[in-house]
Chains A and B, each alone.
Chain A
Amino acid sequence: MSSVSGDFNQRLEPRPPRERVTDNSFKWAARIFALSILAMLIWIAAIVAIRAVPAIAEFGLGFWVNSSWNPPREEYGVLPAIYGTIVSSIIALGISVPIGLGVAIFLSEDYLPPKVQRIFVFLVELLAAVPSVVYGLWGIFVLIPFLKEITPLKGPGMLPAALVLAVMVLPIIAAISRDAISSVPKDLRQAAVGLGATRWEAIILVILPAASSGIIGGIMLALGRALGETMAATMLIGNANKVNLSIFEPSNTIASLLANQFAEASGLQVAALMYAALILFAMTLVVNILAQMLVKRLQRI
């Protein structure tokens, strides 16, 4: 220290102005980029809404309950698509929620050695990474022929689409529920077991209720994904623009309506499709925001 002791008598100079400007502009640039994410969401909503205005002016709320989609006569309504979107998502969740929850419990308990467990976690993650067009391809060539053998299904329809949707959203439910379950404090489980509960009594009566906000958040995220999933639905649901109550009949979703029609649309049809897109965007946005709020509570347990 003695060799530099003389330097300590020097006053510390403030940083040169140029350096301060670079530093501050870097920070501002980073802040602007961060805020641009929020701006991006608003931009998407604004663009879709503005382009939908002609159709909103023309059809108003009748658009929601009209079931014809007839470009030559300029008649548009999304009732069948809304019905198909909601029903396919509900069926998909009905299948994937119990299975996903089972997977989450199985992978958060010590049933398996850690190495094997990690492989299973990886496989479930992989399920989420497979491109949806590949799911669609498999559905067309394997699932639909198989279902035709064992059900009254005649071709594409609600059932195969909902089944593939279930497979696609399952990893979301499994992953988030697993996070929620493993963030429940260990003391709670120990207390339950100490009171004489079996492993499953502890899971059902103590752990799942404690993790419920995260689990419900995960289910809602999965719902958001199912509502907006496009390729699997488009390739498997049959794209029939009417309300078919049977799940063995073709149906339609908002996303597959968009996927099928945008490339050839013009004029008022573009506006009608934008209106449909706006409805889908609003639905998924509400579901997603609620889900985020529930999942965020995880960190506060």
Chain B
Amino acid sequence: MTLDIHNSPSSRFDPTTLKRNPKSGRTLFGLIMTGVAGLFMVLAIVPLFLILSYVIIQGIGQLQPRIFTELPPPPLVEGGGFGNAILGTILMVGIGALISVPVGVMAAIYLSEFSNGKIAEWTRFATNVLSGVPSIIVGVFAYAVFVLTTKSYSAWAGGFALAVLMLPIIIRTTDEALKLVPQEVRQASVGLGANDYQTVLRVVLPAAVPAIITGVTLAVARAAGETAPLLFTALFTQFWPNWKEFLMEPTASLSVLAYNFAIVPFENQRELAFAAAFILVLLVLLTSIISRLATARRTY
């Protein structure tokens, strides 16, 4: 295909009008390509609907109150739930957020407020590379740091792995949120005699808080769905988290429950796997829609 218009057969064009000849090969090619692109668009969306509808149909019937309060049943025993997995997920995502939010927000403050070129460039680069590290590798790392040294699978090891995975998301969203605060606001604050520290903490950061919270929520939803890093850091258990042992024991989570119970031959446990998947999907759907609405309305 070429753009060689002068040599293209002039018969393809009606010399009296600028309209394209609907029968020319070039027009047809464009039409076909448009059709192909549209078809690909549909092809890309179809799996989403297939997966969401399947998980929702399979999972919604399992949602009973006992799911949230009871422990996973042994094979072939009816009833039961995964209260411990919900609590475990909340605990580990909470630990992850407690570590990653302060570190991430401070790092982002440095990037957008105090940085001078080179360091910021390297840090942004490192943040992007960190977000590309496979989550299983982060699990291996947390295993080596926590499990091999404390000799125990624990909620702390799982929470630490989730923190590493949440960090890049929080840095990026906070960085973006801080950049959206107009420069005039900072100038006004400094003009009134505030130093940098006061400007950032009392003026710039509060203005960016809604957007930062949106980012943190997205990171939390992502972390709640992470499975690979928890497989051998938190492991899994049929029991409630043990406060007396200071959470230094294997801890259940929704995602690992969905993985473990998906491949068992027992109908009752498989139903729980679908209920867990349904809750995770619901979490992702809700946070995505809410963050969409929140960012759409964002003005300073």
Contacts and interface: CB of A to CB of B under 8 A. Distances in A.
B224 to A, nearest CB: 8
A242 interface: no
A23 B51 CA distance: 51
A134 B1 contact: no
A127 B226 CA distance: 15
A259 B228 contact: yes
A35 B51 contact: no
Contacts of A228: 133-137
Interface in A182-230: 192, 195-201, 203-205, 221, 224-225, 227-230
A248 interface: no
B136 A258 contact: yes
Nearest to A196: B5
Given A30-B107, A33-B106, A129-B288, A263 B1 contact: no
A108 to B, nearest CB: 10
Contact of A277 (B44, B137, B288): B137
Nearest to B136: A230
A127 B47 contact: yes
Contacts of A33: 102-103, 106-107, 110
A38 B148 contact: no
22 contacts: A30-B107, A35-B119, A37-B127, A47-B141, A47-B144, A106-B37, A111-B34, A123-B48, A125-B288, A129-B221, A131-B226, A131-B227, A140-B262, A199-B30, A200-B34, A228-B136, A259-B136, A262-B139, A263-B235, A270-B148, A280-B134, A284-B132
A197 B2 CA distance: 9
Contact of B54 (A38, A138, A221): A138
Which of A43, A100, A136, A227 has the most chain B CB atoms inside 10 A of its CB?
Answer: A136
Contacts of B95: none
Contact of A195 (B3, B52, B195): B3
A204 B45 CA distance: 24
B259 A288 contact: no
A124 B43 contact: no
A292 B129 contact: yes
A35 B120 CA distance: 9
Q: What 10 pairs between A and B have smallest CB-CB spacing?
A: A228-B134, A131-B225, A102-B40, A30-B110, A288-B132, A230-B228, A33-B106, A262-B232, A34-B110, A200-B30
Interface in B117-175: 119-120, 122-123, 125-130, 132-141, 143-145, 148, 153, 164, 167-168, 171
Nearest to B8: A196
A192 to B, nearest CB: 8
Given A196-B3, A258-B136, A34 B20 contact: no
Interface in A115-146: 120, 122-127, 129-138, 140-142
Interface stretch (B76-84, B179-187, B274-282): B274-282
A36 interface: yes
Interface of A: 15, 19-20, 22-23, 26-27, 29-31, 33-38, 40-41, 43-44, 47-48, 51, 98-103, 105-107, 111, 120, 122-127, 129-138, 140-142, 167, 170, 174, 192, 195-201, 203-205, 221, 224-225, 227-231, 235, 255, 258-259, 262-263, 270, 273-274, 277, 280-281, 284-285, 287-289, 291-292, 296
B136 to A, nearest CB: 4
Contact of A102 (B41, B47, B129): B41
Contacts of B50: 138, 142
A107 B41 contact: yes
A240 to B, nearest CB: 15
Contact of A281 (B122, B137, B262): B137
Contact of B109 (A30, A51, A111, A288): A30
B232 A134 contact: no
B197 A280 contact: no
A140 B168 CA distance: 31
B123 to A, nearest CB: 5
A15 B288 CA distance: 46
B188 interface: no
Contacts of B91: none
A102 B137 CA distance: 32
Contacts of B135: 228, 230
Contacts of A127: 44-45, 47-48
Given A35-B119, A227-B134, A134 B40 contact: no
B256 to A, nearest CB: 8
